[in-house]
Amino acid sequence: METMDPMTKMWVSFIGIGLMAFAALLITVARTKTKGVVRLVLSIVAFVLLLLGMIYSFISII
């Protein structure tokens, strides 16, 4: 497997951090400002973004 150069690892980790921060913001908005189906959809989207952010973070470690 080919390793990434340090600058690419930095950008990949920034993407992971950004996705996780956006997921936290989205779940906060979903729980405080919305109800019903919209809340459920926003929560699912936030969960998916959190998983993607975690995957990006793990990729940047390797």
Share of the chain above pLDDT 90, in %: 89
Residue 28 has pLDDT above 70, yes or no: yes
> pLDDT-based confidence at 31, cuts 50/70/90?
very high
Closest-CA residue to 24 (of 40, 41, 7, 42): 42
pLDDT of residue 2: 74
What pTM, to 2 d.p., does this model score? 0.86
Q: Taking the alpha carbons of 31, 38, 27, 44 in that order, is the dihedral positive or negative?
A: positive
Residue 8 has pLDDT above 90, yes or no: yes
